[in-house]
């Protein structure tokens, strides 16, 4: 059975950082996503965006379901980069797709 868009769990995390640190933060967050998060069961894909203001980053991720995301989140707390990533003041919210537009 194919997964419908409405069954996916979407997570959008914003980071507010010092503009001097955007490049470093992008590298560290990107490494974390590429080497750890993307390897977790239920991870479908994501996009990492750098704000044009130089002081913000947005990470958009799609998961098979909320349970898969929560399980990955529990595992992430023991990841060696966890404390460093928390210093970038992440603010994440979960979403369910309501409607798509071409």
Amino acid 6: pLDDT: 66
Concatenate the DSSP letters of all residues of 21-52 into one string: GHHHHHHHHHHHHHHTGGGSTTEEEEEEEE-T
CA–CA separation, 82 vs 76, rounded Å? 7
Amino acid 98: pLDDT: 87
pLDDT for 3 beyond 60: no
What is the C-alpha R_g of the chain? Answer: 14
Q: How many CB atoms lie within 10 A of CB 86?
A: 10
Q: What is the pLDDT of residues 35-45, one digit of tens each?
A: 999 999 999 99
pLDDT level of residue 19 (50, 70, 90 thresholds): confident
């Amino acid at each position: 059975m194919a997964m419908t868009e409405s069954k996916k769990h979407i997570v959008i995390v914003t980071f507010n950082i010092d503009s001097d640190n955007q490049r470093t933060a992008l590298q560290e967050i990107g490494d974390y996503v590429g080497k750890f998060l993307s390897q977790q069961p239920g991870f479908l894909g994501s996009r990492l965006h750098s704000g044009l203001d130089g002081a913000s980053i947005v990470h958009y991720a799609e998961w098979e379901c909320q349970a898969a995301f929560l399980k990955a989140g529990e595992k992430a707390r023991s990841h060696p980069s966890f404390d460093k990533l928390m210093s970038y003041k992440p603010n994440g919210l979960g979403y369910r797709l309501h409607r798509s537009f071409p």
